[in-house]
């Protein structure tokens, strides 16, 4: 049987991997110590030159199905790992067939939920993970995607302005539907509560968190947050013809949540006395797109909102409100953002991504000012943060040797 590789962007180095060896036996020099979560499959993280991939063994049909689904998700602009390719036709040294393999690109600065607790996350932060999972699930449902296996284990988390964003990593059971029904959405939500409840109990049993979690309260929170966000993004709103300002108010509320309204359905009654509005197409990334248009920076949406706030403070401080906003943004980028990033030593740049470091410097400045009872210069705050806070953080781009639990088998 001939080895076959179907790849999105062919990387010739993929051919050098030991495909005739079962994945669970792979080791140096290919496997790298990046954190993995739990999985029903054997998964290994491998480095090929400057690229890092997750390799998952599965049956051929499922490998191609998930590969196509991940590509469809990516084309839809949804937060997911990037599918790299599928390898089939594997055989061992004796000619016996081996499972097919799915390759995905490793998501830089992302961690499975278990590793976040190993990196110092406390039980108090669990609601932030739930919020990130809810936003991901709502976005998938808005796009007509039925997940079918919602859990913390099937997500990678990235830090964003002190909170988290969630990325789907396992699309094995998922599929796009022309019209995603309410029962299917509710089924996904039920799966989420059951799986998350079990994962929280497992965290407690393994003593991965510092005190007991009220797991029932957490899953109740998940349902509450999902229903509230779904209602805000899709719910109908009716009002009188003398309250047209409520249309703009609804759009502003969605913008505050980070969503842009691409299409709004507006219906009036026969006399025009009553108006009913309902968002039809909403898309997350309002702040992200605004910041990218102004500065070229591509960051998470919450990070973008934090950076836009600092840009607004910069504009007010130097009384630049009458100036062209793009020119002011360029000045902020070259005078504030880039000089602070240049202060970070090379050995510390794998700890957090640039936008998150910037956010934490601003937060550290606020803490220093509160303790001192006076304003603190940003450069001074950055020097103190880099020396006393950032230096003590674990590396989240590449895990230290021995930092991976050999029993974990998901990307």
Banded model confidence at residue 38, pLDDT cuts 50, 70, 90: low
pLDDT of amino acid 262? 85
Please compute Rg for the chain using Cα positions. Answer: 24
Domains detected in the chain: 4-106 (3.30.200), 111-234 (1.10.510.10), 239-284 (no CATH), 293-392 (no CATH)
Q: Could you check whether the bond before residue 291 is cis, i.e. omega within 30 degrees of 0?
A: no
Q: How far apart are CA 382 and CA 361, in angstroms?
A: 6
Query: Greater confidence, 281 or 392?
Result: 392
How many of the other CB atoms lie within 10 Å of CB of 363? 16
What SS3 string covers 189-252? HHHHHHHHHHHHHHHHHCCCCCCCCCHHHHHHHHHHHHHHHHHHHHCCEEEEHHHCHHHHHHHH
Mean pLDDT over 149-159 rounds to 94
What pLDDT, on a 0 to 100 scale, did the predictor assign at position 51?
Answer: 87
Distance CA 261, CA 284 (A): 9
408: confidence class by pLDDT, cuts 50, 70, 90: very low
Residue bearing tokens 């059951």: 194
Instruction: Give the pLDDT of residue 65.
Output: 96
Whole-number percent of the chain with pLDDT over 70: 94
- 49 or 144, which is more confident: 144
Predicted structure pTM score: 0.86
Say yes or no to pLDDT of 109 above 60.
yes
DSSP, res 82: P
Mean pLDDT of 357-374: 94
Rounded average pLDDT over 285-303: 94
How far is it, in rounded angstroms, from Cα 107 to Cα 155?
11
Q: What is the pLDDT of residue 398?
A: 53
Neighbour count for residue 289 (Cβ, 10 Å): 15
Label residue 329 by pLDDT band (50, 70, 90). very high
Mean pLDDT of 23-46: 80
Residue 34 pLDDT > 70, yes or no?
no
By the 10 Å C-beta count (0-12 exposed, 13-18 middle, 19+ buried), 178 is classed as exposed
Between 38 and 49, residue with greater pLDDT: 49
CB-CB contact of 395 with 403 (8 Å): no
Q: What is the pLDDT of residue 162?
A: 87
Model confidence at 35, pLDDT cuts 50, 70, 90, reads: low
Token code pair at residue 70: 């991940």
In tens, the pLDDT along 189-248 reads: 999 999 999 999 888 887 777 666 788 899 999 999 999 999 999 999 998 888 888 888
Q: Does 39 have pLDDT greater than 70?
A: no
């Amino acid at each position: 049987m001939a080895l076959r590789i179907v790849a999105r962007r062919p990387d010739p180095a993929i051919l050098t991997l030991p495909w005739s060896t079962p994945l669970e036996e792979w080791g140096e020099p290919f496997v790298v110590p990046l954190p993995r979560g739990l999985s029903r499959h054997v998964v290994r993280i491998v480095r090929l030159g400057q690229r890092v991939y997750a390799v998952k063994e599965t049956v051929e049909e499922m490998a191609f199905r998930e590969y196509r689904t991940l590509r469809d998700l990516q084309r839809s602009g949804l937060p997911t790992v990037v599918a790299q390719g599928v390898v089939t036709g594997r055989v061992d040294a004796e000619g016996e067939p081996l499972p097919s393999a799915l390759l995905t690109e490793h998501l830089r600065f992302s961690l499975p939920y278990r590793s976040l607790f190993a990196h110092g996350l406390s039980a108090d932060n669990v609601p932030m993970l739930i919020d990130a999972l809810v936003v991901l699930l709502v976005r998938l449902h808005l796009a007509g995607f039925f997940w079918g296996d919602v859990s913390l284990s099937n997500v990678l988390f990235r830090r964003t302005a002190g909170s988290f964003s969630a990325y789907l990593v396992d699309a094995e059971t998922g599929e796009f539907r022309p019209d995603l029904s309410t029962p299917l959405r509710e089924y996904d939500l039920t799966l989420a509560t059951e799986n998350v409840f079990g994962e929280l109990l497992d965290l407690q049993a393994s003593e991965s968190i510092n005190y007991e979690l009220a797991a029932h309260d957490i899953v109740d929170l998940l349902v509450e947050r999902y229903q509230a966000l779904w209602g805000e993004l899709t719910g109908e709103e009716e009002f009188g013809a003398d309250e047209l300002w409520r249309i703009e108010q609804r759009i502003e509320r969605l913008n505050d949540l980070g969503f842009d309204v691409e299409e709004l359905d507006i219906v009036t009654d026969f006399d025009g006395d009553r108006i009913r509005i309902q968002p039809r197409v909403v898309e997350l990334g309002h702040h992200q797109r605004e910041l990218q248009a102004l500065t070229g920076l591509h960051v998470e949406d919450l990070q973008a909102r934090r950076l836009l706030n600092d840009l607004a403070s910069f504009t007010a401080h130097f009384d630049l409100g009458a100036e062209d906003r793009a020119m002011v943004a360029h000045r902020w980028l070259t005078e504030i953002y880039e000089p602070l990033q240049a202060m970070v030593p090379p050995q510390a740049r794998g700890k957090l991504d640039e936008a998150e470091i910037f956010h934490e410097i601003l937060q550290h400045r606020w803490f220093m000012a509160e303790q001192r009872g006076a304003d603190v210069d940003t450069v001074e705050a950055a020097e103190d943060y880099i020396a006393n806070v950032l230096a003590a953080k674990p590396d989240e781009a590449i895990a230290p040797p021995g930092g991976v639990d050999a029993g974990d088998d998901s990307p």
